Amino acid sequence: MEITFEHVTHSYDANSPMANLGLDDVSLKIDDKKFTAIVGQTGSGKSTLVRHINALLKPTSGKLTVGDRVITSETNNKNLKPLRKKVGMVFQFPESQLFEETVEKDIMFGPMNFGFSESDAKDAAHEMIELVGLSKDYLQKSPFDLSGGQMRRVAIAGVLASNPETIILDEPTAGLDPVGRHEIMDLFKNLQSKGRTIILITHNMDDVANYADEMAVMSQGKLVASGLPSDVFNNQDLLKNDLLTLPQSAQFAQSLAQKYFQFNKLPITIDELSAEIKQQVNGD
């Protein structure tokens, strides 16, 4: 689904003198079926931004369009279910939201809430548990007996089970080990290739460089840049003002350029960096 923010401002405690802007006049288009990363320091408005997409938060002013749905300050809370079925959200530390007595029931909860029959929800649970890299043996266990990484996978399976078109991920891999992180990121990339739109909030710039088609940078509630990762990571203003950190490959290239080497554009992945180094050393 295409998602468009038009001059969206969100004010927390709008009526109090302490009002502070969670979002400040954000206009942004998130393309259908693309993998878009949203980055920015803690408190920059990333989570506030994505919570508008399934109307958990509504604009104080401005409007956004999610597929054929328009959301403004006037949007009422009735009839949001179809939207929320289409937009699945995996929150930070989703394992804290597990509550059922078995993993199977926990994964089935979302789909049943969106009107799946019990047997369809069960089928979805059986399919999703393997998709997130756990065997079916886990379905009858209590979610609270699992390790943190396994609980995370169960929580993700629960969101995927309703078959959302757009999947929003708020730091889905924080606290996972690197192997687990790559598995989960590959899973999202794979879902994208099957036609889903993926929106990822992350602090990990290597994941942005390796997985995202587009990126947006937030700072103090404002959108300060958006575009292709290879362009955004080469935006000197952002770097100078500490609004963005670089992927490891770009950092390495920057240090390497102190002597002999020159990069017209910083490489952002290991493969790009490696090709550049070889070319400059061997001159071929």
Residues with catalytic annotation?
171
| C-beta of residue 109 within 8 angstroms of C-beta of residue 162 | no
- In whole angstroms, the minimum distance from the beta carbon of 23 to other proteins comes to 18
CA distance 104 to 76: 33
Rounding to the nearest 10 degrees, give the CA dihedral for residues 256, 257, 262, 268.
Answer: 60
| Shortest spacing between CB 144 and other proteins, in angstroms | 11
Q: How far apart are CA 244 and CA 242, in angstroms?
A: 5
> 92 to 111, contacts with other proteins by CB under 8 A?
93
Q: Residue 271: which of 197, 196, 209 has the closest Cα?
A: 209
Residue 177, interface with other proteins (CB under 8 A)?
yes
Q: How far is the CB of 278 from other proteins (least distance, A)?
A: 5
Q: Give whichever of 104 and 276 is closer to other proteins, judged by the CB atom.
A: 276
Of 3, 49, 59, nearest to 29 by C-alpha is: 3
19 binds other proteins (CB under 8 A): no
Give the phi and the psi of residue 226 in degrees, each rounded to 5.
-155, 155
Residue closer to other proteins, measured from CB, 71 or 156: 156
Distance CA 20, CA 47 (A): 15
Site for other proteins in 37-76 (CB under 8 A): 41-43
Is position 12 an interface residue for other proteins (rule: CB under 8 A)?
Answer: no
Q: Pick from 150, 166, 210, 226 the residue near other proteins by CB under 8 A.
A: 150
**Which residues are near other proteins by CB under 8 A?**
41-43, 93, 145, 147-150, 171, 174-180, 203, 245, 248-249, 252, 255-256, 259-261, 270-271, 273-274, 277-278, 280-283
